[in-house]
């Protein structure tokens, strides 16, 4: 089992050293150091989070809330550094998703993946 | 980035080779080959799944459904191989959780972990 943890730490380090992560970190620092950008992004994230929490509780967001979220999304999209940051977050998130798929392959072979046509039960 | 994927495959292989996973696999095969055990476990999982889906949709399960789930849980707990399988699933799930924490450490350093007292904002 210790080998599993060693390999996890090696993977973690290679993720930290990757260009994708280093670029994400740089953009993150740029936003943190720009008071206006930081406030804009914080507001956007808070509105997103509130919407998600509502939906998780089975509540329907109001039309006003949806409009507000869309307007904030358009605003942050027009901010160059924030939009680059969000693109970079998407890239890193895709890598993490791929990595999770690779790691859980042994489990999928046991339990089957319902999305995989080979595993129709 | 290719190094990240290489490391993910190495981690996946070490997980597959681990005693924890090999034992899980053996128990899984034992249950699959025992018709009564398999049906018992399938029933249990279906009831669990239905309860979870209800709760995710914000619905309250009925008292009858909760009692039924508890009775099925006690029944599978009394089946030796199934209870060993469920214990082993718990062990592997803990390892996967630990591994996920290790892998996402670089992200946590950026975004902070709200559970970590060092990261109070
Ligand atoms: Ca090592
Ligand atoms: Ca390799």
Ligand approaching nearest to the C-alpha of A13: 1
Does the beta-carbon distance from A104 to B96 stay under 8 Å? yes
pLDDT score for A116: 59
- pLDDT level of residue A60 (50, 70, 90 thresholds): confident
Number of domains in chain B: 1
Does the beta-carbon distance from A19 to B10 stay under 8 Å? no
Ligand approaching nearest to the C-alpha of A102: 2
- pLDDT level of residue A7 (50, 70, 90 thresholds): very high
Minimal C-alpha gap between A11 and chain B (Å): 5
pLDDT score for B121: 42
Average pLDDT along chain A: 90
Tokens standing for B38?
């398999």
pLDDT score for B1: 60
Among positive and negative, which fits the CA dihedral B95, B9, A103, B26? negative
Domain of A88 in residue numbering reads as 2-119
- Can you give the CATH number for the domain in which A42 is found? 1.20.1500.10
Count other C-beta atoms under 10 Å from residue B57's C-beta: 8
Tell whether the model's pLDDT for residue A120 goes beyond 50: no
Average pLDDT along chain B: 90
Selection from B58, B111, B98, B42 nearest residue A89 by Cα: B111
Q: Which residues contact B95 (CB under 8 A, 6 or more apart)?
A: A1, A4, B15, B18, B20
Tell whether the model's pLDDT for residue B2 goes beyond 80: no
B104 touches chain A (CB under 8 A): yes
pLDDT score for A105: 94
Length of chain A: 121
pLDDT (average), residues A27-32:
96
Over the stretch B3-43, which tens digit does the pLDDT of each residue have?
Answer: 999 999 999 999 999 999 999 999 999 999 999 999 999 99
Over the stretch A61-119, which tens digit does the pLDDT of each residue have?
Answer: 889 888 988 998 999 999 999 999 999 999 999 999 999 999 999 999 898 865 655 54
| End-to-end CA, chain B | 32
Residues 16-55, chain A: which have Cβ within 8 Å of B?
16-21, 24-25, 28
Residue % of chain B over a pLDDT of 90: 66
CA distances from A74 to A7, A114, B50 (A): 41, 36, 39
Residue % of chain B over a pLDDT of 70: 92
Instruction: Report chain A residues whose CB lies below 8 A from the CB of B7.
Output: 7, 10-11, 14
Instruction: Report chain A residues whose CB lies below 8 A from the CB of B110.
Output: 24-25, 28
Among positive and negative, which fits the CA dihedral A108, A109, A111, A112? positive
Q: Tell me the ipTM for this assembly.
A: 0.81
Interface residue of A14, A93, A114 to substitute, partner B, most B CBs within 10 Å: A14
């Amino acid at each position: 089992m210790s080998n599993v943890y060693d390999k996890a730490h090696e993977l973690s380090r290679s993720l930290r050293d990757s260009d994708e992560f280093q670029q994400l970190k740089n953009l993150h620092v740029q936003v943190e150091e720009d008071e206006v950008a930081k406030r804009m992004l914080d507001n956007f994230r808070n509105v997103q989070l509130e919407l998600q929490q509502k939906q998780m509780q089975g509540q329907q967001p109001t039309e006003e809330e949806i409009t507000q979220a869309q307007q904030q999304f358009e605003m942050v999209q027009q901010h160059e550094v924030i939009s680059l940051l969000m693109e970079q977050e998407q890239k890193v998130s895709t890598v993490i998703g791929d990595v999770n798929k690779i790691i859980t392959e042994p489990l999928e072979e046991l339990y089957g993946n319902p999305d995989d046509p080979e595993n129709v039960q």
